[in-house]
Amino acid sequence: MGREASITRIIGPENYARLQHFKCLIVGAGGIGSELLKDCILMGFGEIHIVDLDTIDLSNLNRQFLFRQKDIKQPKSTTAVKAVQHFSNSKLIPYQGNVMDTKQFPLHWFSQFDIFLNGLDNLAARRYVNKISQFLKKPLIESGTSGFDGYIQPILPGITECFDCTKKETPKTFPVCTIRSTPSQPIHCIVWAKNFLFNQLFTSDQSPTAGDSDDNDWGTDDKEEISRIKQETNELHDLQQVVHRQDKAHITDILKKLFIKDIEKLLQLDNLWKSRAKPVPLSESLIESTRYDHDSTDLSAVWGLEKQINQFIRVTGKLMDRISQEQYNIEFDKDDQDTLIFVATAANIRSHIFGIPIKTVFDIKQIAGNIIPAIATTNAIVAGLSTLTSLRLLNLLPYDKASSGLDVNMAFTARASNLSKDRYLSNPKLAPPNCNCAVCSKVARGVIKITIQGLEKLTLSQFIEMLKKQYGYPSETSLIDTSDQRLLVDFDFEDLLNRTLSQAKLRDGSVILFSDEEGDEREMYKQPLELYLDVVEDNAAALEVELPSLQIALFKPQKQDEKEEQEMTKEKSPANEENKNGIVILDEEENRGEKDNTATKRPRSPDQTLQDTKKAKTSKSSEYAEDIIELD
C-alpha cells in the first residue's frame, strides 16, 4: 500500500487507475533493462513484457542485481521475471528471442503496447525498434550508459526527432594489411590474435583461404604483400592440424612460425619499412628455453616477455586438451580464461615485436570483449529517468501537462552532453524531426494489412497498380524489398510483374519501398512510400488487402552539386564549429556480434538518403530461375 499511495499522490487516483491498464514493452534485460523492469513494477504498470536474446554471463553479476551465480547461462528475460515476481502486482511476460525476428514478434504484436522502453546494447536493434515506433506511432524512450555517463531520449513519432535523426558512427574496422602486416596500435594486435589467429587454430570451419577473399579491404595494392598474407593463412592451416592432433611437443613450432618465420618474411618486403620502424623477431633460444609452469592469476599486471611466452605455451596446451571435447570448435569468450589468455599473450608478443606498448590481460579483456564500462548506479539513474519520463509521454502528470511533444525533456549527464559543468544532469527540450532523416522525414510510412489469400493471389503488377491508384503515383515507379535490398520491379526490370507477392518472397514482416521514378513537369516527385506487410487472419480482415490512409507529399530532389555546396558551407559555419563538442550519444554496457561501442556526438548531419534504385547489380538467386536485381 505504501508504494501505491506514493504514486497516487504524484499522478492522482484516476491516472493511477489508468496506469494499471497500460502495457509497456521493455527491450533488453541487462544493466538498464533489469532496472527498468523493477521501476515499472514499482510504478504500477498493469502489464509488462520484456524481451532479451541473451543469457547471463559471469561478468554481468557486478551490476545486474536480479541475477546470481546459479543463474549463469540462463536466459536473462525469464530469470529477471522470476527474481521480481514476488513483489510484483503487474502481469509479467518474458520472451527469449531477437526483437528483430518478425516471425516471433510481428508488427501486430508490437501494436498491443502503449509505450516502448529500450535498454539495448547494439545499434541494429535500436534502429529497428525506432522504426517500429515510427510505423505504429507509438512513443519510445531510448537510453544508454557508459561508465558514469548516460542519457535518455523520448521519441514521439512525427513530433520529435527519432533515433536516426542524428548520425551514428559504425563500429571501426581495419584494413587487412594493417592487421596482418603493419600493426601500430595494441588494438591491431588484439584483432589479429582474436579474429585471425584464434579462429584459424581453434575453429573448425576455417578453410585455408578463409578471410582472404579478393573482396577484402586489403588496405594496399602491393601484390607481393597480398600474396604473402594468403600464403601465411595456408601455412597456419597446417598448424591447425598440430592443434587437432593435440601435439603439445610442437607448441614451440607455432611460436616460431608466428613470431620468427612470419616476421622474417615481412622484413623482406622493403616497401613496408621505408617510413616505419622494422619489427624484431623473437630469438629461437628464448622460445626454446621457456617452459610453461602454473596458471597466472594476476591478470591486472603487465607481464614481461618471458612470462607472455610461458603463458602462451601453457594455455595452448590447455586448449589442445579441450578441442576434441568441444568438437574441434572452440569459440572465443572473454569470460573463458583460457581463450582470453591465449589472445592476450599472442597479442602482447606481437606488440613487443612491433614496438607497441603491451597491455594487461584485464585491459585486453575489455577491448577484445567490446566492453563499455558499466556502473550500476548510472544504470539505475537512467532507468529511473526513463520510467518517470514515461508518465509525461502517457499524459499521467496532471500538474505538468505538455502542450506539445516538444515540451518534453531529454536528460543527459554533464559529460555526455557538454551542456553544463555545474550539475550532473542536463535536460534540454526535444527537437523536431530532422528534415534529412531517411527514417522519419524522407519517406511516408504505413502498414498494409493483408491476408494469406491476398499474398497468394495478388500479383506484383496488380499490387503496384493499387498503390498508384490509391496514392496518385505516376506510371514509372520502383518497388524494393528493403529486408535484403532486392529490387522487385523497376521501369527497366519487369521480369517479376506476374509473380504473386508470396512467389516474390514477400511475407509477414516484409518492408517494401515504393518510389516515384518519373516526377512531373516541374521536376517534383512523390515522396517514397515505405510499407510494412502485416499478415492477418482471413476472418479478421474485411478485405484481402487493406491499404493505409496516407497523404503523400511532393518534393524536389536536391542536385548533387547543391548537396556538396551545402555540406561545405555546413563544415565551415561557426555554428558547426560550436557543435564539435555537442551532446554525446552513448551505447549501454557490452556489445556482442554486430554491435556498436563508439560514443558519437549529436550535431545534426543528414543521414544516408534513400539508395538510388538505378544503381544496381545483377546476381543469381537460387530461389528464382530469372535474374534478381540487388541494390549496391
State the catalytic residues. 177
CA distance 537 to 544: 10
DSSP state of 61: T
Query: Quick one: cell of 414?
Result: 554533464
As a residue count, the chain comes to 632
397 vs 406: CA distance, rounded Å: 16
The reply to whether 62 sits in an annotated binding site is yes
Q: Is 344 annotated as a binding residue?
A: no
User: Was 52 annotated as part of a binding site?
Assistant: yes
**CA distance linking residue 20 with residue 41, whole number of Å:** 10
Contact 446, 550 (CB under 8 A): yes
Return the bridge partners of 149, or none.
146
Residue 434 marked as a ligand binder: no
Q: Whose CA is closest to 282, among 231, 346, 230? A: 346
Cell of 257: 612460425
60 a known binding residue?
Answer: yes
97 is annotated as contributing to ligand binding = no
The answer on whether 437 is annotated among ligand-binding residues is yes
What is the DSSP code string of 293-312?
Answer: -SPP--TTS---HHHHHHHH
Using CA atoms, how far apart are residues 11 and 534, in angstroms rounded to an integer?
36
CA–CA gap between residue 228 and residue 268 (Å, rounded): 10
Question: 106 phi and psi, to 5 degrees?
Answer: -70, 170
CA dihedral 345, 346, 348, 354 (to 10 degrees): 160
Q: How far is CA 360 from CA 52, 179, 299, 331, 363, in A?
A: 32, 20, 6, 21, 5
Q: Is 122 annotated as a binding residue?
A: yes
310 in a known ligand binding site? no
30: annotated binding-site residue? yes
State residue 366 phi and psi, 5-degree precision.
-65, -40
The string of DSSP codes covering 508-553 is TT-EEEEEESS--TTS-EEPPEEEEEEEE-GGG-SSSEE----PPP
Q: How far is Cα 424 from Cα 173, in angstroms, rounded to an integer?
A: 34
Q: For residue 391, which of 64, 42, 107 has the smallest C-alpha distance?
A: 42
What is the phi/psi pair of residue 75, to 5°?
-60, 135
**Residue 430 known to bind ligand:** no
Say if residue 291 carries a ligand binding annotation.
no
Phi, psi of 51 (to 5 degrees): -120, 135
440 annotated among ligand-binding-site residues: yes
Is residue 28 part of an annotated ligand binding site?
Answer: yes
If you search the block for the grid coordinates 556502473, which residue do you land on? 375
- Ramachandran angles phi, psi of 359, nearest 5°: -120, 160
- 121 annotated among ligand-binding-site residues: yes
Nearest to 142 by CA among 120, 170, 167, 171: 120
CB crowding 278-292: b at 16 or more within 10 Å, else e: ebebbeeeebeebeb
CA torsion angle 554 559 562 566 (round to 10):
60
> Residue 33 annotated as binding?
yes
Tell how far CA 569 is from the center of its chain. Answer: 32
Any known ligand binding at 125?
A: yes
Would the annotation count 24 as a binding residue?
no
User: Annotated binding residues, as ranges?
Assistant: 28-33, 52, 60-63, 76, 121-126, 162, 165, 437, 440
Binding site membership for Zn(2+): which residues? 162, 165, 437, 440
Question: Which residues are documented as binding site for ATP?
Answer: 28-33, 52, 60-63, 76, 121-126
